[in-house]
């Protein structure tokens, strides 16, 4: 914990130092610029430069604030849509009452140790202070309507979880393989060993929810399985909504057969 807090403190310190260094540099640059505008005194130059910096920072802050509000509004809309589907929509499950954890207002995006259900404030405290607890808090996998199946929706730049765009599967954990084996070598080796055990034991396998698995990873695992068992049969659940993308997955992996859902019915349910 000491090491973690120390690193956090120094990271904050150096980021702050870099920010203030940028501000001073920015003021110096503006000061030189304003000297060309016939300002009478150095103090006047500096005030003009500081005012310009303040305006720029307010502009950047407003842009970020607008983006955050957009994310939050999207999350509210998605929460209401999920609630309508589960409790009121004619083709939904029509839950009769709110209860935790079986029929909540919105689904839970995260799995917690021992399947326990705690108040969010208590969970945050445990995540911040209990390293053992941190190890077993994991995000659920799921599906996003009209999403690009070739990208990892768990990428932190996408804000999928924050926006509640994910239709989560509460019995599945999202594994983060990264973009290459070096990104998570322990997980890669674990899954490779699992593949080594499966390939000679069974005639084939089903890739469940395949469209939410990194393409490069699935390709390497299935190539490895067929090194062990050349006739290894691959059945995959795949509905990307795009025939070109489907063909890419089929050809890269060498899929023998597909499990297809009625995509139009799925879209109708979640509209």
Report if residue 132 sits inside a domain.
no
Q: Which of 33, 57, 78 is the last residue of a domain?
A: 78
The model's confidence at residue 74, banded by pLDDT at 50, 70 and 90, is very high
What are 118-173's pLDDT values in tens digits?
778 888 888 888 888 888 888 898 888 877 777 888 877 788 999 999 988 888 88
Residue 102 in domain? no
| Torsion sign (Cα): 177, 181, 182, 185 | positive
pLDDT band, residue 12 (cuts 50/70/90): very low
Indicate the pLDDT class of residue 9, thresholds 50, 70 and 90. Answer: very low
- Alpha-carbon distance of 32 to 142, in angstroms, equals 54
What are φ and ψ of residue 101, in 5° steps?
-100, 5
Can you tell me the mean pLDDT for 19-42? 57
Say if 121 falls within a structural domain: no
Distance CA 26, CA 49 (A): 8
> Average pLDDT, whole number, for the chain?
80
101 in any annotated domain:
no
Would you place residue 80 in the very low, low, confident or very high pLDDT band (cuts 50, 70, 90)? very high
Residue at 211 is within a domain? yes
Q: Residue 24 has what pLDDT?
A: 54
Q: Examine residue 246 and state whether it is found in any structural domain, yes or no.
A: yes
Global pTM reads 0.71
- Cβ atoms of residues 237 and 259 within 8 Å: yes
More confident residue, 91 or 150: 91
* Range with top average pLDDT, 37-41, 70-74, 93-97: 70-74
- What was the pLDDT predicted at 193? 97
pLDDT of residue 158: 83
| Measured CA angle at 73 (ends 63, 68), to 5 deg | 30
Q: What gap in Å lies between CA 197 and CA 174, rounded to an integer?
A: 22
Q: Mind spelling out the 3-state secondary structure of 179-206? A: CCHHHCHHHHHHHHHHHHHHHHHCCEEE
> What's the rounded Cα separation, in Å, for the pair 190 and 109?
24
Q: What percent of the chain has pLDDT over 70?
A: 80
Give the pLDDT confidence score for residue 118 in this predicted structure. Answer: 77
Average pLDDT over residues 14-23: 48
Q: Count how many domains the chain has.
A: 2
pLDDT tops 60 at residue 116: yes
Distance between CA atoms of residues 80 and 87, nearest Å? 10
- C-alpha dist (Å) from residue 112 to 107, 109, 248: 14, 10, 36
Provide mean pLDDT across the span 114-119: 76
- Domain end (from 53, 78, 103): 78
Residue 205 · residue 180 · CB < 8 Å: no
Q: Which of 16-20, 26-30, 56-60, 185-189 has the lowest mean pLDDT?
A: 16-20
State the pairing for strand pair 138-143/110-111. Answer: antiparallel
Domain stops at, among 62, 78, 94: 78
What is the per-residue pLDDT for 28?
A: 55
Q: Is residue 93 part of a domain?
A: no
Burial class (CB in 10 A: 0-12, 13-18, 19+), 222: buried
User: What confidence tier does 234 reach under pLDDT thresholds 50, 70, 90?
Assistant: very high
**Which CATH number covers residue 184?**
3.40.50
**Contact status, residue 2 vs residue 29, Cβ threshold 8 Å:** no
| Domain hosting residue 44, numbered range | 2-78
Whether 222 is in a domain gets the answer: yes
């Amino acid at each position: 914990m000491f090491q973690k807090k120390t690193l956090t403190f120094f990271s904050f310190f150096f980021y702050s130092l870099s920010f203030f260094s940028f501000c001073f540099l920015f003021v110096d640059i503006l000061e030189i610029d304003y000297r060309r505008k016939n300002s009478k005194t150095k103090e006047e130059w500096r005030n003009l430069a500081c005012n310009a910096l303040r305006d720029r920072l307010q502009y950047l802050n407003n842009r970020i604030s607008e983006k955050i509000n957009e994310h939050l509004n999207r999350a509210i809309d998605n929460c209401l849509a999920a609630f309508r589907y589960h409790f009121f929509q004619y083709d939904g499950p029509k839950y009769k009452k709110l209860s935790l954890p079986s029929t909540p207002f919105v689904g839970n995006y995260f799995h917690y140790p021992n399947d326990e259900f705690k108040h969010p404030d208590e969970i945050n405290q445990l995540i911040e202070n209990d390293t053992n607890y941190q190890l077993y808090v994991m995000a659920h996998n799921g599906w996003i309507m009209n999403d690009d199946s070739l990208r990892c929706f768990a990428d932190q730049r996408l804000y999928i979880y924050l926006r509640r765009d994910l239709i989560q599967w509460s019995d599945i954990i999202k594994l983060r393989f990264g973009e290459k084996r070096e990104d998570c070598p322990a997980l890669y080796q674990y899954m490779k060993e699992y593949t080594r055990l499966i390939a000679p034991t069974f005639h084939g396998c089903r890739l469940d929810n395949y469209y939410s698995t990194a393409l490069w990873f699935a390709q390497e695992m299935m190539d490895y399985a067929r090194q062990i068992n050349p006739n290894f049969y691959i059945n995959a659940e795949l509905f990307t909504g795009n025939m070109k993308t489907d063909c890419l997955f089929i050809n890269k992996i060498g899929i023998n057969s597909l499990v297809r859902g009625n995509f139009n019915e799925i879209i109708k349910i979640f509209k």
